[in-house]
Amino acid sequence: MSAGVRDETPMVEVVDLHKEFGDAHVLRGVDLTVPTGSVCVVLGPSGSGKSTALRCINQLESITAGRIYVDGELMGFREGTHRGAPALFALHPREIARQRTKIGMVFQRFNLFPHMTALGNVVEAQVQVLGRSKSAARARAVELLERVGLTDHRDHYPAQLSGGQQQRVAIARALAMDPELMLFDEPTSALDPELVGEVLAVMRSLAETGMTMIVVTHEIGFAREVADQVVFMADGVVVEQGLPEQVLTSPREARTQDFLARVL
């Protein structure tokens, strides 16, 4: 696609991001730029901080240092002056909720609402957050469930669906908010091997529509086929990034070579 070619505001810009959990320094200065309309796949061993970085982008984790811009907007803070000096003002939870509406997120463990049907899951936030009418939200939900191939399952509760079906409902639920950016946090890691394909197929078709996506995954094949940019993280820093063929086929860094040798 158009990775880094167009001279416009990138969809996501992460600058020198640090995150501490108590004494643990999990992210140690992450820089990441994801151009609008591109797919960025983040690889790395477990504990490398890739999921944490993703969760920081939509502020499920508060950040310790650095800046995150989504579509040019600073996330979580407002810049201003306090007693004459430049300062960051923390945003009210209401403001943070508003910033999140343009970011869709898909979780490793699906996190569907178990007391609502598949359709109910997709309708809920449209009504509660976007203020759509029940009928408009329903129509959109029906359309999205058809897009992920679950028209026949819309009246099923999550417990009656397979993992792959649940994850596809979760993708439809996130898309119902008409996000500009989709975050995928190991979307296939909790699935039985034979169910991984159906979820990746939905993600692939989503990428083809030009959706900006950041995908944390271990699916090297998906990275090779779909990614515009592959980022390899280890120990809380970006070790290497570039085009998929470059990072996956001829990695420069020893740690990347080591990781790929183990997963391929």
Partner 1 sequence: MSTTDAGRAGPAGPTEPVKPAADQVPDRIHAIPVRYPGRWISGAVVVVIAAMAVHGLVTNEKFAWGTVADYLFSTPVLRGVVWTLWLTVAAMAIAIVLSVLLAIMRGSANPVMRWVSWAYIWIFRGTPIYTQLVFWGLISVLYPRLSLGIPFGPELLDFTTKDLVTASRAAIIGLALNEAAYLAEIVRAGLQSVDPGQSEAARALGMKNTRIMGRIVLPQAMRVIVPPTGNETISMLKTTSLVLAVPFTLDLQFATNAVANRIFQPIPLLMVAAIWYLAITSVLMVGQHFLERYYGKGFDVHHAPGGGDGGRRRAARRRARQAAINAAGTTAEPGPLTEVTP
Q: How far apart are CA 80 and CA 71, in angstroms?
A: 20
CB of 100 to partner 1, least distance (A): 4
CA-to-CA separations, 131 to 127, 148, 159, 179, in angstroms, rounded: 5, 24, 28, 15
Binding-site member from 64, 143, 157, 162 for partner 1 (CB under 8 A): 157
Strand order in the sheet with 39-43: 103-106, 181-185, 212-216, 39-43, 229-234, 237-242
Phi, psi (rounded to 5 degrees) for 28:
-120, 55
Six-digit token string for 219 = 């699916």
Residue 188 as a binder of partner 1 (CB under 8 A): the answer is: no
How many chain residues touch partner 1 (CB under 8 A)?
34
Would you give the distance in Å from CA 211 to the centre of its chain? 11
Q: What is the CA radius of gyration of the chain?
A: 19
Q: Distance between CA 197 and CA 199 in Å, rounded? A: 5
| Closer CB to partner 1, 5 or 159, in the complex | 159
173 binds partner 1 (CB under 8 A): yes
Closest distance to partner 1 from the beta carbon of 78 (Å): 18
Residue 190 binds to partner 1 (criterion: CB under 8 A)? no
> Rounded CA gap, 118 and 223, in Å?
29
Q: Using the rule CB under 8 A, which residue among 174, 200, 206, 248 binds partner 1?
A: 174
Q: Which stretch binds partner 1 (CB under 8 A): 18-26, 29-37, 101-109, 214-222?
A: 101-109
CB of 30 closer than 8 Å to CB of 236 = yes
Give strand pairing partners of 82.
Answer: 85
Exactly one of 125, 142, 190, 220 binds partner 1 (CB under 8 A); that residue is 125
Q: Is 71 helix (H, G, I), strand (E, B) or coil?
A: coil
Q: Which of 85, 159, 254, 264 binds partner 1 (CB under 8 A)?
A: 159
Distance of closest approach, residue 243 Cβ to partner 1, in angstroms: 30
If one asks whether residue 69 binds partner 1 (CB under 8 A), the answer comes out as no
Cβ closer to partner 1: 160 or 246? Answer: 160
Q: Does 104 bind partner 1 (CB under 8 A)?
A: yes
Give min distance, CB of 158 to partner 1, in A.
Answer: 7
Binding site for partner 1 (CB under 8 A): 58, 60, 93-94, 97-98, 100-101, 103-105, 107, 109, 111-117, 124-125, 128-129, 155-160, 170, 173-174, 177
